[in-house]
Chain A
Amino acid sequence: MCGYGGYFGSVPEAETLLRRMTAAIAHRGPDEHGIFVAPEAGFGHARLSIVGLGDGQQPMSDDAGDLTIAFNGEIFNYVELREELRAKGRRFRTSSDTEVILHLYDVMGEDCLSALNGDFSFAIWDRRRQRMMLARDRMGVRPLFYTTHGGTLYFASEIKALLQVPGVSAELDPVALDQIFTLWAPIAPRTGFREIFELEPAHLMIAERGKLSIRPYWQLDYPDHAAQPLFADERSAAEELRALLTDATRIRMRADVPVGSYLSGGLDSSIVSALAAGMAPQGLRTFSVTFDSAEHDESAFQTEMATALGTHHTAVACRAGDIAKAFPEVIRFTERPIIRTAPAPLYQLSGLVREQGLKVVLTGEGADEVFAGYDIFKEARVRRFCGRQPGSRIRPHLFRKLYPYLPGLQQQSAEYLAAFFGAGDVPLDDPLFSHRPRFKSTAATKIFFSADLRATVKDYDAAEDLVSRLPAAFGRWHPLHQAQYLESRFLLPGYILSSQGDRMAMAHGIEGRFPFLDHRLVEFATRLPPEMKLKGLVEKHILREATKDLLPSSIGRRTKQPYRAPDSHSFTGIGELDYVRDAMSEARIGDSGLFNPKAVTKLYEKCQAQPVTGFRDNAAFVGILSTQLWLQTFAGTRTRAAEAA
């Protein structure tokens, strides 16, 4: 687990540039740094040593010097792959997974990607063929960004490394901002930066003879709605799920350093921790965040689960003011505006893990996408149910059951509940049926856009852009699978695994591993009948069945409690620091040119004055503040920010 930067083309003073790129992402790999420079290509690498501690230095070349790799991540099945390659006569110099990729590429070319089970991003310089191959894992766990400048391709694990390239500047992309203020994240390959892109998950890029070609090597796919279910028997499906999840966890315990686990108190991380505890004879370390506010805190469940498993548990308290203190650093690592503060406590958590001397943690991330855990899946089902009887006064009461943690919603009449969720308003065949209310209510934040920014994006519709990227088969999938695809293909890599995941963990040099995102498990889950995942309004039903012997019943029966953190109120009261007042001031907002200064001032005053703030106002506050911090951190000057609009 590491970070790297590199180029393919012609670069004067290449070594100096590579050192600067590597230094910019040194947090990703504090253990070792390495440089490789050839006339046509170069890599700089910052290493977090986890596998092959003594002999896994990077960049790594083969014996002949024909192939050189810079690699970030882990290949979890490298042990099996190495044995297969040895059986074919390949000889290994190191004990690392990095060398396995080199051999596999030598044997299979880019087809090697189909054999890899892991979270990876890598670049291979193929001297014989004079080409560079870049690739990224299937679900988008590990990042890879690129840009071209002066005919040279530059790439890196984080954008801040690309900003070291002379001539590459940080300018906010207004379309990306529109996407964030509608969909919560930019649609890849777009990033927050103009002319800087990310390689999409499950894609590879070949750069040769002055051309870039990008294509997918794997796709998330679901069976046709009308197709016969592949798993009619729930018990056998649960058994297969358990076997796959156990193996996915087992190979993610592979490391030459201790592996710990996040333990939120929810179902998913409890399952992962339970499986891992059974595979850690020396004992398992677990870690969690606690909150002052009862609305967000899950410490009772964390303690219960840690006690049940006998783990050595450590928690970090996220207190009033902590989110505001960390937020500027959080934005430096997310490298994009965000509309939720949820990454900030995870930044604190990875800091705790680092303090405790660990480098690797398992997490339960991915289970909600793969086994239909999110409220939005249930919400879509209730909306369809209400849509069949639009005037019903009884059916909308089900919305209350979905959101017991939202007090404002509990007090609403059936008529208002139906109206808020657009029950009956969205056509049932709308490809975005499940997500349309979320996108619509998020887009309401754009009321704060300045007149100039509105004019710039007036002909752009982020939701329709998303629709245009859906695969041809999408319309033939079950509605639940359509909703799962939207979450798994866009929000998971675009926000959960990046802004909340890789970027927050790697800020402190911590590698997260995600058993639920093992591609064998993901592929298995796509073939399960929807009713096995969302049974009535019980989420992750088959997962509960498959793991019920692992958990105390109070945890196993828990309804999904979404991970949330206090939003605008993190920045008022104790969190009202000087930088917040400055960034949200009429003068600064006016300088940026992106938002309406007077409206933002009123929003700020409203959030200060009211004890409870609604979704739109919270999202707008965090989105505007993070955009202002983004501009200060990356664009640097007022002028450039204003130009972006």
Chain B
Amino acid sequence: MTETIKDSVRAFVIENFLFGDTSYDLAETASLIENDIIDSTGVLELVAFIEDRFGIAMADSDIVPANLDSLARISAFIETKVGAPVTA
């Protein structure tokens, strides 16, 4: 399951924010903001992806860099959410 989430998240980020550029050396822990991969509109795109793909309803308090600013953080966040009831 973890591998699937990781792969899915990485594929989305590469497709949507790196426009398919697989040569980009995107480390699991690299900041998506500091590396200019994501902007304010991009965060909303990412939220829509997580909600649609994993059936998670994200509360406003979930939408913070601590949950979403790297591949590793996104995967960990999703993993927690799919394993636990979501509270709005």
Contact = CB atoms under 8 A, between A and B. Distances in A.
A608 to B, nearest CB: 14
A425 B35 CA distance: 13
A447 B18 contact: yes
Contacts of B41: 408, 612-615, 617
B40 A420 contact: yes
Interface string B1-38: 00000000000000110111100100000000110110
A615 B39 contact: yes
Nearest to A440: B36
Contacts of A617: 41
Given A444-B36, A615-B39, A419 B65 contact: yes
Nearest to B44: A408
Interface string A411-430: 11101100110000100000
B65 A603 contact: no
Nearest to B33: A419
Interface of A is mostly: helix
Contacts of A411: 44
A267 B56 CA distance: 46
A107 interface: no
Interface in A389-444: 406, 408-409, 411-413, 415-416, 419-420, 425, 440-441, 443-444
A91 interface: no
Interface string A562-605: 00000000000000000000000000000000001011101100
A413 B39 CA distance: 13
B66 to A, nearest CB: 7
B20 A599 contact: yes
A606 B20 contact: no
Contact of B16 (A416, A419, A606): A606
A406 B40 CA distance: 10
B73 to A, nearest CB: 12
Which of B24, B33, B61: most chain A CB closer than 10 A? B33
A419 to B, nearest CB: 5
A13 to B, nearest CB: 50
Contacts of A600: 19
Contact of A447 (B19, B34, B39, B64): B19
A610 B45 CA distance: 10
B66 A415 contact: yes
A620 to B, nearest CB: 9
Given A406-B40, A408-B40, A413-B64, A447 B33 contact: no
A614 B42 contact: yes
Given A447-B18, A448-B19, A602-B19, A416 B60 contact: no
Contacts of A415: 64-66
Contacts of A527: none
B72 interface: no
A599 B19 contact: yes
A416 B39 contact: no
A412 B40 contact: yes
B63 interface: yes
Contact of A614 (B20, B34, B40, B69): B40
A27 interface: no
Contacts of B66: 415
A131 interface: no
B43 interface: yes
Interface string A449-490: 000000000000000000000000000000000000000000
A616 interface: yes
A424 B15 CA distance: 31
A502 to B, nearest CB: 32
A193 B27 CA distance: 38
Which of B18, B24, B36, B41: most chain A CB closer than 10 A? B41
Contacts of B15: 602
A598 B60 CA distance: 35
Contacts of B37: 444
Nearest to A612: B41
B39 A420 contact: yes
A413 B61 CA distance: 8
Contact of A441 (B36, B43, B60): B36
Nearest to A598: B20
Nearest to A409: B40
Contacts of B61: 413
A355 B21 CA distance: 48
Interface of B: 15-16, 18-21, 24, 33-34, 36-37, 39-45, 60-61, 63-66, 69
Q: Which 9 A-B pairs have the closest CB atoms?
A: A614-B41, A444-B36, A599-B19, A602-B19, A408-B40, A415-B64, A408-B41, A614-B39, A419-B33
Given A408-B41, A420-B39, A606-B19, 18 more contacts: A412-B63, A413-B61, A413-B64, A415-B65, A416-B33, A416-B40, A416-B64, A419-B33, A419-B69, A420-B40, A441-B36, A441-B39, A443-B36, A444-B36, A612-B44, A614-B40, A615-B39, A615-B41
9 contacts: A415-B66, A420-B33, A440-B36, A596-B19, A602-B15, A602-B19, A603-B19, A606-B19, A614-B39
